[in-house]
Amino acid sequence: MDASEFRKRGKEVIDAIADYYENLDQVPPMAAVKPGYLYKLMPHEAPEDPESFDDIQKDIQTKIMPGITHWQSGNFFGWYPSNSSFPAMLGDMYSNMFDVIGFNWLCSPATTELETVVMDWLGKLLGLDKRFLSIKEDGTEGDGGGVIQGSASEAHIVAMLAAKEKALERIKADGSVSEDESDAMRHKMVAYFSDQTHSSGQKGTNIIGCKSRTIPTDGNFRLTKAALVTAIEEDKQAGLIPFFVCGTFGTTNTASIDDIPGIADVAAAEHLWYHIDAAYAGASLTCPEFRPLAVGIERADSFNFNPHKWMLTNFDCSAMWVASSTHLTNALGIHREYLPRVKGETAFVKDYRDWQVPLGRRFRALKLWFVMRMYGASGIRAHIREHVRQAKWLEQQLLTDGRFEIMVPVVFGLVVFRIKPSALATSGDVAVEESTVNAANINYSKHINADGRVFLVGTKLKGVDAVRAAIGSTIGKQENVELLLQVLKQSAADIISQQK
Ligand code: PLP
């Protein structure tokens, strides 16, 4: 394909993308195909001779499209949103154009420097403490800074690696153990999570080879200071070495917020690395009214949120900041002659390969730069506030209906609810068994999705089955939430009548 053919086909693809978004709400959000459908439709060898663009384009429509789950639909309320936006897509097109592997400054100076600039912009937009910024007020380089990871899971792993480095350094420095003994201590190191922490925490400990301890949350699904203190005391008694704790600002199940300042107290007293996972709800901090909920994050060692969830930036874009990069770069920096470092006099020269697991990295800062410039802070805040308004509207409607129980008060765009036990009781029933209520609510989420007009997922909260509706699609409007409410009410009526 030469440039003139690309020009023609590229315009066709842009048209197809615009058509897709204009008609997205007309199609069911969930793919209606059976496992293995595509294998049956596909040849089982790669083509020997070149095939035409038109044939591939036709296959996109007839073979791929039926198997797509439309995450960008306004009627998609599953998991957490994964926002796309046209500005982000335009930025990513430039990233594809350059296709640089920007692992250090020399690889592509603009790639490194734009990342430093936009991560400072974004940090300021969230109101993060200046410890997390790369460039200090006097224009010199600080020890902290931001980096774009591919995912919150990677941020978790990288934070734990830095934490391990810091802990080993402390153990060696106190002189009570030899170098060899301190290496053996890796297996005694414990990372702390709550029973609501995202699975990436546990995965991270599996990868780095340390112990993990899961602490039960309180009745509001929060990790508390007292529970953390108890767990640490027990582990220290058992000869283990606490080194890392994750606090979550907006958990996956319920968007609950851990005791962020209380955990900071414990982390400081016990020399733990304090990582805050705000993968979903971190975007809310662009709006100053949410910042009181996050008091204490200024005391964290690392903080992470995903603009690719709720801040209009196509996957993948996970923003991570560290207050001090020394342990991170000590843990991840490896020297080879073919990977020259360029450490200049200026404040902008970071070797981001030392801040992440892979060597190669995409020019992801471009899409974030496009989003921040083309929406502006005001546009980003309007996006967040509108979804929160819609979520609170839905919560109110469900409460007014009388058949639903809201599992946790709505703070962001997530509404977690169930059909309440009394709505499932037949006349004369004293109390409906919890197992019956759970079974009815599992059926309820299946029934909602079987309707086909909307999509969401169920969850289990301390043994109680519930339904999650995550509002936050870029193109989602009030009409989409009204449709959701209509389906929720109709499906609830069906489940209740089946029960009786
Ligand atoms: N942390 C939280 C609170 C999440 O909700 C999620 C995903 O939904 C993650 C981490 C994992 O995000 P990623 O897919 O970017 O690894």
Does the Cβ of 251 fall within 6 Å of ligand 1?
Answer: yes
pLDDT value of residue 106 = 85
| In contact, 21 and 314? CB cutoff 8 Å | no
Structure confidence by residue, pLDDT tens digits, 290-301: 999 999 999 999
How far, in Å, is the centroid of ligand 1 from the Cα of 139?
34
Neighbours of 360 (CB within 10 A): 11
Does the Cβ of 304 fall within 6 Å of ligand 1?
Answer: no
- Rounded Cα–Cα distance for residues 216 and 259 (Å): 13
pLDDT value of residue 499 = 81
Tokens 């996972």, located at residue? 277
Mean pLDDT of 66-89: 97
Indicate the length of the chain as a whole number: 500
How far, in Å, is the centroid of ligand 1 from the Cα of 152?
5
- Rounded Cα–Cα distance for residues 75 and 61 (Å): 21
Mean pLDDT of 213-219: 96
pLDDT of residue 285 exceeding 90: yes
pLDDT of residue 438 exceeding 90: yes
Does the Cβ of 306 fall within 6 Å of ligand 1?
Answer: yes
Per-residue pLDDT band at 344 (split at 50, 70, 90): low
166-193 burial by CB neighbour count: b if 16+ within 10 A, else e? bbbeebbeeeeeeeeebeebbebbbbbb
Radius of gyration of the chain measured on its C-alpha atoms? 25
How far, in Å, is the centroid of ligand 1 from the Cα of 336?
33
Per-residue pLDDT band at 107 (split at 50, 70, 90): confident
Does the Cβ of 198 fall within 6 Å of ligand 1?
Answer: yes
Q: Measured on CA atoms in the order 144, 202, 309, 318, is the torsion positive or negative?
A: positive
CA-closest residue to ligand 1 atom 11: 152
Question: How far, rounded to the nearest angstrom, does the alpha carbon of residue 64 sit from its chain's CA centroid?
Answer: 26
Distance between first and last Cα of the chain: 64
- Rounded Cα–Cα distance for residues 132 and 200 (Å): 23
DSSP H helices in 326-433: 326-332, 365-401, 421-424
Mean pLDDT of 23-44: 94
Structure confidence by residue, pLDDT tens digits, 345-399: 555 688 899 999 999 999 999 999 999 999 999 999 999 999 999 999 999 999 9
Does the Cβ of 152 fall within 6 Å of ligand 1?
Answer: yes
How far, in Å, is the centroid of ligand 1 from the Cα of 45?
36
Per-residue pLDDT band at 196 (split at 50, 70, 90): very high
How far, in Å, is the centroid of ligand 1 from the Cα of 345?
37
pLDDT of residue 139 exceeding 90: no
Neighbours of 473 (CB within 10 A): 26
pLDDT value of residue 420 = 95
Opening angle at CA 460, ends 220 and 277, nearest 5? 55
In 28-137, beta strands by DSSP E:
none
Per-residue pLDDT band at 179 (split at 50, 70, 90): low
How far, in Å, is the centroid of ligand 1 from the Cα of 280?
7
* Dihedral of the alpha carbons of 204, 146, 412, 461, in degrees to the nearest 10: 10
| In contact, 391 and 415? CB cutoff 8 Å | yes
How far, in Å, is the centroid of ligand 1 from the Cα of 278?
8
Does the Cβ of 443 fall within 6 Å of ligand 1?
Answer: no
| In contact, 381 and 126? CB cutoff 8 Å | no
Chain mean pLDDT for the chain: 94
Neighbours of 265 (CB within 10 A): 15
Does the Cβ of 277 fall within 6 Å of ligand 1?
Answer: yes
